[in-house]
């Protein structure tokens, strides 16, 4: 009982550390001034208009969305069969295979990016976009395998056995029974993968090209060159979009179902 006030105080401090900087960024984005300063001087929406009309931001935003969607789809296409094989099979090297798929979480992304750059871009002269896409798929695989695998472990195998016992083919059983059971895990893996890919900096920084630059790298370059509230306005718009996605996910599936199997 004595530890509860201490834990509550630590929790409050933790929330303040996370929330207060976000509040400062949001309030600064509505300033009428010409520099990042708090408190903001006046109220204006001019920086939102400038952010939405700034071509490098919009071009890189589209590029990041495209990259994140394609990488997420590829990670799911590769990770779901691997998760099925691990969850439904029994073999001696099962632990080693699970460790292999989790290894991108252990190896620093800078190391992965440097290895891909040296072996594919320099040695084989591969196109940097495809190398960047490969790197994103590699770092997303642990989320796909881990989250969908957790959902499979928690699902009832007897339902699949019953479907096969009633004459359903393996493909029909997967489509009508296994896939619906995996739905929360698939949504969770897709959300985590998309967010991870969209916000990635180390790989994108090493593997970017003149023709293809991701949104976080473009924002980083802008901060190094300018110090106006446009970067705060763009950050506020991205946070607003994230909140909308979170609300839609909660209304359609529910966070308890989406993230319930991650810690299992």
What residue ranges do the domains of the chain occupy? 65-217+254-259
Say what percent of the chain tops pLDDT 70: 88
Cα–Cα distance, 123 to 131 (Å, whole number): 12
Integer CA distances (angstroms), 99 to 17, 96, 103, 240, in order:
34, 5, 6, 36
Query: What dotted CATH number matches 65-217+254-259?
Result: 1.10.3720.10
Lowest pLDDT segment from 103-117, 128-142, 152-166, 203-217:
152-166
Cβ count near 104 (within 10 Å) = 18
Q: Is the pLDDT of residue 196 over 50?
A: yes
Dmax (CA) for the chain in angstroms is 71
Instruction: Decide which of 237 and 9 is more confident.
Output: 237
Whole-model pTM: value is 0.81
Instruction: Decide which of 41 and 264 is more confident.
Output: 41
- Average pLDDT of the chain to the nearest whole number: 80
Cα–Cα distance, 178 to 170 (Å, whole number): 10
For 93-125, write each residue's pLDDT tens digit.
777 777 777 778 788 888 888 888 888 888 888
Reported as a pLDDT band with limits 50, 70 and 90, residue 66 is very high
- Total residues belonging to the chain: 264
Provide the strand spans (E) within 79-209.
none
Lowest pLDDT segment from 8-12, 32-36, 226-230:
32-36
Q: Is the pLDDT of residue 262 over 50?
A: no
Reported as a pLDDT band with limits 50, 70 and 90, residue 261 is very low
Q: Is the pLDDT of residue 74 over 90?
A: yes
């Amino acid at each position: 009982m004595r530890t509860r006030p201490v834990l509550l105080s630590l929790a409050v401090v933790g929330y303040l550390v996370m929330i207060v900087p976000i509040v400062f960024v949001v309030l600064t984005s509505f300033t009428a001034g010409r520099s990042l300063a708090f408190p903001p001087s006046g109220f204006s929406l001019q920086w939102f208009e400038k952010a939405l009309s700034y071509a490098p931001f919009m071009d890189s935003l589209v590029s990041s969305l495209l990259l994140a969607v394609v990488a997420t789809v590829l990670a799911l296409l590769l990770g779901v069969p691997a998760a099925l094989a691990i969850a439904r099979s029994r073999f001696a090297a099962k632990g080693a295979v699970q460790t292999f798929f989790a290894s991108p979480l252990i190896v620093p992304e800078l190391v992965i990016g440097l290895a891909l750059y040296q072996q594919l871009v320099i040695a084989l002269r591969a196109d940097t976009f495809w190398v960047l896409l490969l790197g994103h798929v590699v770092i997303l695989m642990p989320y796909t395998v881990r989250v969908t695998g957790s959902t499979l472990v928690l699902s009832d195998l007897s339902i699949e056995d019953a479907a096969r016992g009633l004459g359903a083919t393996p493909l029909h059983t997967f489509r009508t029974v296994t896939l619906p059971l995996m739905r929360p895990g698939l949504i969770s893996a897709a959300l985590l993968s998309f967010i991870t890919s969209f916000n990635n900096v180390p790989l994108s920084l090493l593997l970017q090209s003149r023709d293809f630059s991701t949104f976080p790298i473009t924002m980083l370059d802008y901060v190094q060159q300018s110090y106006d509230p446009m970067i705060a306005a763009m950050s506020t718009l991205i946070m607003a979009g994230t909140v909308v996605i979170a609300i839609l996910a909660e209304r359609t599936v529910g966070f308890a179902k989406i993230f319930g199997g991650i810690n299992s």
